[in-house]
Amino acid sequence: MSEGAPQEGKALLRSGVVPAGAYANKIRRTLFAQLSQKIKSGEIEDKEVARAAGELNQLLYEAFVNKLALSKGDLVRVEIPYSVENGRISWDYSNLRVRAFREIGQEVVAKAIEEAVKAVESGEAKVPSEEQGQEERIEQQAT
């Protein structure tokens, strides 16, 4: 199985990159969108879709808020396979993939930019040419 591809008989929910404060709504909306045809055909009830979204969101809340202490402005990306059998959604938690990107405070970024400007203006900054930068990346990859 290739990475990111669901196993046979499974679907894959992907949130895309979203603010941590908006992940729950994105998960719910994405799941409803993916299962809209099954809801219309009566294969699954909308209450079951809401239940499954709530179950996943509860787990993600525990991880994001209580374990990782992410703020609402941090970014997350969620990917999880699931299956629908007998009108019930089952999450494949063993293949849950989450990426989290922590926001750097504006004051930290502003200070770094200010210091970089001073270094460039004073001639202290080392700005490699494109060729030098490529050589350094090759050296770093070799080590």
pLDDT of amino acid 110: 93
Sequence letter at residue 30: T
pLDDT tens, 74-113?
A: 999 999 999 999 999 999 999 999 999 998 888 999 999 9
pLDDT tens, 63-84?
A: 999 999 999 999 999 999 999 9
DSSP 8-state code for residue 59: H
pLDDT of amino acid 2: 41
Average pLDDT over residues 123-138: 67
Q: HSE on the CB side for 28, CA within 13 Å?
A: 13
Label residue 3 by pLDDT band (50, 70, 90): very low
Q: How far is CA 64 from CA 38, 77, 81, 94, in A?
A: 30, 11, 19, 18
